Amino acid sequence: MEFNESDLGREYLKFRQLRNDALHTKKMDLSNIDWFYPTNLLPLGIFIKTNRDVYVIPPTSSDVLNYYKIITKDTRHVSSRISYLPIAEIPPDEHQR
């Protein structure tokens, strides 16, 4: 099986296309996304957090939107009521960790 014929391969190619389009147009349209594989959401979340000048059109599916918001939330405080951890930057200051 070729890499691009696997589910992960197809999803990675989808992420690459989203990233390349966003770098070119400064807009990322996630409105038609109906599922995020965790292996795609991690690089997507990092891309969004490091490219603040890119306008993101969020997913229209409420379930996918909630998952997206939790993962990309810019916070260092995590509620014990969620089952997903947001992508967080580890502070360089030892006391802030």
User: Where do we find the tokens 């296309």?
Assistant: 17
Quick one: pLDDT at residue 1? 45
Quick one: pLDDT at residue 57? 93
Domain ranges for the chain, please list them.
3-72
Mean predicted confidence (pLDDT) in 80-92: 61
Closest listed residue to residue 64, CA positions, set 88, 16, 30: 30
Structure pTM? Answer: 0.66
Closest listed residue to residue 38, CA positions, set 11, 61, 76: 11
Return the SS3 of 55. Answer: strand
Whole-angstrom Cα Rg for the chain: 15
Element (H, E) at 57: strand 55-57
pLDDT tens digits for range 48-78: 888 989 999 999 988 888 877 777 765 544 4
